[in-house]
Structure 1
Amino acid sequence: MIAKKGTNTRFKPGQSGNPLGRPKRLPSLDRALVDVLGKVDKHDVTVLQRIVEALARKAMRGDIRAAELLLDRGFGKAKATLGVTVEGEITQFLRMTPEEKLAYIKKLECDE
């Protein structure tokens, strides 16, 4: 008798497919970032403040990536919106004959 394909390689009940689990983060990375970014210079300004100031200067000179980074981190990414109203168009499309639908689709393809 031939065994079903893959039956000898399947996990047994109660056996994990990833016994070691998710890899752990470096335990001190978060703390190291806090320590480094929180360091204060002789003018009582933190490293983090210096980084933000540098990004702001670059953004003011027209660096779009720096501006995007500052705005996204400060206010969250903008949600993309589509200004499309389809309710009436769908109803209109559903009422068309098959020939009218084909003509409508061809017109849309030409407009692109």
Structure 2
Amino acid sequence: MTATAFKPGQSGNPSGRPPVDFEVRQLAREYGQEAIENLVAIMRGDNPALAKAASEALLDRGYGKPVQSVGADPDSVPVQAITLQLVAMTADSEPEGDRG
């Protein structure tokens, strides 16, 4: 056991999460509509990276973040494996002069 480890049954945060100041939460909610309108404007803008980030922020808040599975499904292929296969296929199909 390391010197910084907590004893069994001892919390690392005995006070719990600090309460959110009601006034701050209320102020944030007052600007919610404007914030959404700004995200929409950014989403429709000319910068693809900002548009993607704004789109994701809107979708996450409107529908919730996508569920990430924790358990292993024996019939599925991990996303990382698929990504690695796609990267390898793309690298194999590029002409020699284009490789970085």
TM-score interval for Structure 1 and Structure 2 normalised by the shorter chain: 0.3 to 0.5
Higher radius of gyration, 1 or 2: 1
Give the TM-score normalised by structure 1: 0.41
Write 1 or 2 for the structure with the bigger share of helix. 2
TM-score normalised per structure 2: 0.45
